[in-house]
Amino acid sequence: MTARKKSGSLFAVALTCLFLFGCDEASGDGTTCVQDRDCETGLACIEGTCRKPAALPLDGGAKDSGVARDVSGEDGAPSDAGPVDSGGGDEGVEAESDGGGDDWQDDAGVSPDADSPFDGGTDSGEPADAGTPPDIGTVDAGEADAGEADGGGADAGADGGGPAKFSVMTINLKHPLTGIDEAIKRLQIVATGINDKQPDVVALQEVVKSGSDPNLAEQLAGLTGYQWVWEFAYTVPALFDEGLGILSRWPVLWNDSAELPHLDLVLFQRRVLGGLVDSPHGQIHLFCTHMTTDSGETVKADQALAVYEFIQTRPSPLPGFLAGDMNAEPDKLAMRFYRGEAEHEGKSANFVDSWAVANPGDEGFTMSSSNPQKRIDYIYVVPGQAGTAAVVSCEIMFAQPVGGLYASDHLGVYCEFTLP
């Protein structure tokens, strides 16, 4: 049994539609909408109207542009296999392994195949060539809420001997059910924001891989020159593979992931991904997760506890960061657990909610992008053994549409810090 096994059953497809679109207060085909959940099962919110999405091709055979790491063991659980050599070669793969657990490895910065429209990362670990995206028309980057380029990365504090600076961005890329052309345009908007802000690391959720095309993290690496890591989470039957991603300005020394408890709709596996970044100021962890959509407090708290325990096995002198789409508002048990304000199963974390520190009294809504009404996307500081990071500032990203198109159905978050 592997985590990549495809399922084409009618039951699985039905669950997929429920998971991706929702069914409450659904609208019929051609009616107005704000997000996918406003539409009937099988429809997507495309340019404000409920329509049938264009399915993306999914090659059920070998992935010739890079094979995702298989992190399951014989029984589907992470195994204790040792390190896996990601290898060299000209094709470049996202190292497939039957081991999970502690098999930290460097599978970042792998080149896409020659047929890709993007020239992505390299297997030497050097930043990717930005390459040339396909011709999809002009995108006016000036309309996006990407901010001014300010060199916000780790090297920004080097001049003048001030405190070392480090910056983090998170964005849910949104599944591409509204069509590949739109997905590529949205990806370019995200790339513009990354190139403007130059964060040291970026946490990515809903990072899709379809057929032989490079996954979206690899394609973003090609547009930004960043290192990349992608971790498979689950398959949306007959459509695509989805996972988590990390982009980094600096070499990613190794990465690992773990499953979170409780499947969404008995089908979709949630994970946490961690990477160790070799920044100019030392080695720093970034952890990325996309938690369950289940509304149950205990289910979300169970996943938060699993994320915390995964992080605790990776101690570090320097502080790290946890970022992603938590699918939980700040007053929920899972988020209070992260902040150390509540216990779950006798444990409590001590993470710092960066937005709350930087912008007290500002609700910082991130969902949905066209009509933000709740905050579910976060960047947490994970204190290190030698101290914690001080929050300098946090801001919302991608708040304005570009050519009538938002970067995602989520807004992004960008935060700057000083290191101890």
- pLDDT single digits (tens) 29-47: 566 665 555 566 555 555 5
- Domain ranges (residues) in the chain: 10-51, 141-418
3: pLDDT strictly greater than 80: no
pLDDT tens profile 77-122: 333 333 333 333 333 334 333 333 333 333 344 333 333 333 333 2
Half-sphere exposure of 52 (CA within 13 A, CB side): 1
CATH number of 141-418: 3.60.10.10
Least confident piece of the model among 230-234, 236-240, 313-317: 236-240
User: What pLDDT, on a 0 to 100 scale, did the predictor assign at position 332?
Assistant: 98
Q: Could you give the CA distance from residue 205 to residue 291 in angstroms, rounded to a whole number? A: 10
Q: What is the mean pLDDT of residues 130-151?
A: 35
Please count the residues of the chain.
420
Which 3 state secondary structure label does DSSP give 247? strand
- Taken in order 313, 314, 319, 322, the sign of the CA dihedral is negative
Q: Could you give the CA distance from residue 394 to residue 379 in angstroms, rounded to a whole number? A: 9
Please state the pTM of the whole predicted model.
0.70
**CB contact at 8 A, 199 and 228:** no
Which amino acid appears at position 11 of this protein? F
Q: Could you give the CA distance from residue 368 to residue 408 in angstroms, rounded to a whole number? A: 9
Which helix or strand (DSSP H or E) is residue 405 part of? Answer: none
**CB contact at 8 A, 50 and 42:** no
Q: DSSP letters of 57-111? A: P---S--TT-PPP----TTSS------------SS------S--TT--B---SPP
> Helix 180-197 vs helix 216-224: angle between axes, to the nearest 10 degrees?
40
Which amino acid appears at position 94 of this protein? E
Least confident piece of the model among 172-176, 319-323, 392-396: 172-176
Instruction: Compute how many other C-beta atoms are within 10 angstroms of the C-beta atom of residue 328.
Output: 26
Least confident piece of the model among 168-182, 284-298, 346-360, 383-397: 168-182
- Taken in order 24, 30, 34, 37, the sign of the CA dihedral is positive
Q: Could you give the CA distance from residue 213 to residue 68 in angstroms, rounded to a whole number? A: 12
Distances (CA, A) of 90 to 110, 112, 120, 283: 9, 9, 13, 29
Q: Give the list of residues 6+ apart from residue 137 with CB closer than 8 angstroms, or none.
A: 185, 403
What's the mean per-residue pLDDT of the chain?
Answer: 75
2: pLDDT strictly greater than 50: no
Which 3 state secondary structure label does DSSP give 297? helix
User: What pLDDT, on a 0 to 100 scale, did the predictor assign at position 265?
Assistant: 80
Q: What is the mean pLDDT of residues 13-24?
A: 44
User: What pLDDT, on a 0 to 100 scale, did the predictor assign at position 50?
Assistant: 64
Half-sphere exposure of 301 (CA within 13 A, CB side): 18
406: pLDDT strictly greater than 60: yes
Which amino acid appears at position 26 of this protein? A
Percentages helix, strand, coil for the chain, rounded to the nearest 5? 20, 25, 55
User: What pLDDT, on a 0 to 100 scale, did the predictor assign at position 178?
Assistant: 78
51: pLDDT strictly greater than 70: no
**CB contact at 8 A, 247 and 221:** yes
Q: What is the mean pLDDT of residues 189-202?
A: 98
Q: Could you give the CA distance from residue 384 to residue 407 in angstroms, rounded to a whole number? A: 33
User: What pLDDT, on a 0 to 100 scale, did the predictor assign at position 237?
Assistant: 87
Q: How confident is the model at residue 290 (pLDDT cuts 50, 70, 90)?
A: very high
- DSSP letter at 376 equals -
Query: In the chain, pLDDT over 70 holds for what percent of residues?
Result: 62
